[in-house]
Amino acid sequence: MLELGYVRANLPIVEEKLRSRGMDPAEALGNFNAVDRERREAITRVETLKAERNRLTGEIQALRKAGSDATSVTEETKRLKTEVESLEEAAAKADERLREMMQTLPNLPMDSTPVGKDEHDNVLVKTYGEQTAFDFPARPHWELGEGLGILDFERAAKISGARFVVQFGQGALLERALANFMLDLHTREHGYTEVLPPAMVNSKSLFGTGQLPKFAEDLFHCDDAGAFEAGQYRENDHWMIPTAEVPVTNLFRDETLEESQMNVSFCAYTSCYRAEAGSHGRDVRGMIRQHQFQKVELVKFVRPEESEAEHERLTRDAETVLEKLGLPYRRMLLCTGDMGFSAAKTYDLEVWLPGQQVYREISSCSNFEAFQARRANIRYKAAGAKKSEFLHTINGSGLAVGRTYLAILENYQQADGTVRVPEVLVPYMNGATVIGQQSGAWRSFGSGQKQGRA
């Protein structure tokens, strides 16, 4: 959330930054000036009337001491009291309207974020590795996975609906191997502390990281008894997390960290749940846009003066996963028009998928500056400082496990349809160097052996 005082003092800059995001400042800010003026005028008037009441109170005391009639002056103080209460109520309502406006405004892009309209204006920062090519036709991951018997989209649709997958045998093991490899790398080499947070959160948590109220349709809301009524969210309501960023960032909501607690780095492996609203018809094949997927998330709580350097460091930590797995990728600096609501600067890591001949996002690493900390009221107090201040939050995928999984299938596929296991994963795959054809009762699905209900 933006600071009200900053918006008031820097309105032209705020308008320009919003414009760079493709927004109409007049629409985004609405009647900000009028409401702000109303609030300030009410507060000024209250101060004036209170001063007058104090003067009249002294006059009443003097009149009574002299034995004179103070009725008219007393009535005037009562009138002033009523007017003050009315003005204070008006100022409070205006203040609430301003807070609501601040809640709907996105973060302002950093100066180093390129101005642009959409993904076509993103800037290529670096490329790692050569695009994988084969001397045979490369197949997409869904063909490879179904052929090997490790991915089953049809059974998943039967039990849950579209955009789900069931994994079997070495496929399920590969998912687990990737998660363990990533967690070990980040905790042992990169200095993160592993945390296992809840997969369900309340509305305050989603507000803190910026998903609510704007992106409610992208989330799965649990049908808690009595939790949702007429658009109002109670304290006991629950949502499935779209990313571990939400619960991990909110670990320190409404807290003030001491100097000794900074800088804090967490990594978390969780399932994530997204409605994928607005993505109908996009990436309908395979594991690109699933309603449920697993991800290892990296989250940092840092001092404001160190956030840019820590953002770069977190992005490198995510890149290291791809490099150790031998997966070609590129780093893109997102433009203002393609950046998320809460971010001030974002790098996307895109992995090369030879089966589809395209780069796909596999990690999004963002610096939120104080935007999330202000929404979630997360502060820190420097040693010797009299006052606390909002810290900066940074996060990114390290990595999205499902997309890493499919990248391995496509980049390590062989002519016979089997898939080589990246060297660093062999110990996590119980020594297996190749993912081959799976055998088992599930392989007969679709061969006319389906049974009806007894």
| 344 pLDDT more than 90 | yes
- Assess whether 309 and 402 both reside in one domain: yes
Q: If you average pLDDT over every residue of the chain, what do you get?
A: 92
- Assess whether 126 and 266 both reside in one domain: yes
HEC string of the chain?
CCCHHHHHHCHHHHHHHHHHCCCCHHHHHCCHHHHHHHHHHHHHHHHHHHHHHHHHHHHHHHHHHCCCCCHHHHHHHHHHHHHHHHHHHHHHHHHHHHHHHHHHCCCCCCCCCCCCCCHHHCEEEEEECCCCCCCCCCCCHHHHHHHHCCEEHHHHHHHCCCCCCEECHHHHHHHHHHHHHHHHHHHHCCCCEECCCCCEECHHHHHHHCCCCCCHHHCEECCCCCCEECCEECCCCCEECCCCHHHHHHHHCCEEEEHHHCCEEEEEEEEEECCCCCCCCCCCCCCCCCCEEEEEEEEEEECHHHHHHHHHHHHHHHHHHHHHCCCCEEEEECCHHHCCCCCCEEEEEEEEECCCCEEEEEEEEEEEECHHHHHHCEEEECCCCCCCEECEEEEEEEEEHHHHHHHHHHHCECCCCCEECCHHHHHHHCCCCEECCCCCHHHHCCCCCCCCCC
Overall pTM > 0.85:
yes
What is the tens place of the pLDDT at every residue in 167-219? 999 999 999 999 999 999 999 999 999 999 999 999 999 999 999 988 999 99
Q: What CATH number is associated with residue 97?
A: 1.10.287.40
- Assess whether 418 and 319 both reside in one domain: yes
How many domains, in total, are found in the chain? 2
| 285 pLDDT more than 90 | no
- Assess whether 299 and 413 both reside in one domain: yes
Domain limit, last residue, from 44, 73, 104: 104
User: Mean pLDDT across the stretch 93-102?
Assistant: 90
| 151 pLDDT more than 70 | yes
- Assess whether 43 and 133 both reside in one domain: no
- 453 pLDDT band, cuts 50/70/90, is very low
Q: Cβ distance 212 to 203 under 8 Å?
A: yes
Closest among 427, 424, 304, 324 to 367, alpha carbons compared: 304
Chain centroid offset of residue 282 CA: 21
Is 446 a member of any domain? Answer: no
| CB contact set of 92 (below 8 Å; sequence gap of 6+) | none
Is 447 a member of any domain? Answer: no
- Assess whether 211 and 243 both reside in one domain: yes
pLDDT for the residue 454: 40
Is 234 a member of any domain? Answer: yes
pLDDT for the residue 233: 55
| CB contact set of 109 (below 8 Å; sequence gap of 6+) | 17, 20, 21, 115, 336, 339, 344, 345
Q: What CATH number is associated with residue 339?
A: 3.30.930.10
What is the tens place of the pLDDT at every residue in 215-262? 999 999 987 665 545 555 555 689 999 999 999 999 999 999 998 888
Range from 224-233, 311-320, 445-454 that averages highest in pLDDT: 311-320
Domain limit, last residue, from 104, 134, 163: 104
pLDDT for the residue 259: 86
- Assess whether 69 and 173 both reside in one domain: no
- Assess whether 153 and 99 both reside in one domain: no
Is 75 a member of any domain? Answer: yes
- Assess whether 239 and 288 both reside in one domain: yes
- Assess whether 178 and 84 both reside in one domain: no
Is 189 a member of any domain? Answer: yes
User: Mean pLDDT across the stretch 356-385?
Assistant: 96
- Assess whether 315 and 207 both reside in one domain: yes
Domain limit, last residue, from 75, 104, 133: 104
**Rounded CA separation 308/305 (Å):** 8
What is the domain range of residue 311?
Answer: 119-439
Is 450 a member of any domain? Answer: no
Is 444 a member of any domain? Answer: no
- Assess whether 129 and 44 both reside in one domain: no
Is 229 a member of any domain? Answer: yes
Which of 333 and 259 is assigned the larger pLDDT?
333
